[in-house]
Amino acid sequence: MKQLKIFGYDVKVPTYIPFKPTKEYGWIDKELNQLQISYQKRFSTELVIYVTPQKPEYFSGKGEKIHLFENSIGLYSVSESRDPRLDWELDGLYYSLEYVSQDPPTKSEILKIVKSIK
């Protein structure tokens, strides 16, 4: 299990990423009290994970419900530009994963990334 101790919370990050990142970075948006972690492959692919201790507005409850972990249900959706997204709660933190790419991954690939976070 890989963790970051950032902004006062133990944040879990994926141990599986389906591409070799050419750039990895993260920052804290103090206004939103949110951590953003980004893995990029050149300019064509970006995997972004948002983490916050308060339930964000974008946790709308819309999407396909998917069982992720023991007590965690995720909400899977796809944007108009076909980019997949998965929102879930884990250990009191709210996570959102967005995968932006010209060649979007399958739902099973997104689940593989998320399940490597537990």
Q: How confident is the model over 100-117, as pLDDT tens digits? A: 998 888 999 999 999 998
Which residues, other chains included, contact 31 with Cβ-Cβ below 8 Å and sequence gap of 6+?
A: none
Reported pTM: 0.87
**Which residues, listed in sequence order, are joined to residue 93 by a DSSP beta bridge?**
90
36 burial via Cβ count (<10 Å: 0-12, 13-18, 19+): middle
Q: How confident is the model over 27-41, as pLDDT tens digits? A: 888 888 899 999 999
**How many angstroms separate the CA atoms of 11 and 7, rounded?**
9
Confidence of residue 6 (pLDDT cuts 50, 70, 90): low
**How many angstroms separate the CA atoms of 114 and 106, rounded?**
13
Domains and CATH numbers, the chain: 2-115 (2.60.120)
